[in-house]
Amino acid sequence: MKTIIEKKVVPLARMMFIEKEGLTREQLVIEATGPYSLEEKDDCFVVRNDDCCKSIMVTVKASI
């Protein structure tokens, strides 16, 4: 498993962008300290903090 982003803080109501780099949504493994949503755009994935009260910490890995 390859780590793409390690322990990145995503503030309240903010987003984090992940370049696709040939990855599919199914290959992503996301660990977060709170609720989040994952969206797929043409050139990137978007992880959005869905927590109503606090920042979350996110680690993104790829199962290659």
Number of domains in the chain: 1
Whether the pLDDT of residue 44 is over 90: the answer is yes
Q: How confident is the model at residue 64 (pLDDT cuts 50, 70, 90)?
A: confident
- Please tell me the pTM assigned to this model: 0.87
9-36 pLDDT per residue, tens: 999 989 999 999 899 999 999 999 999 9
- CB atoms near residue 33 (< 10 Å): 15
**27: domain range?**
2-62
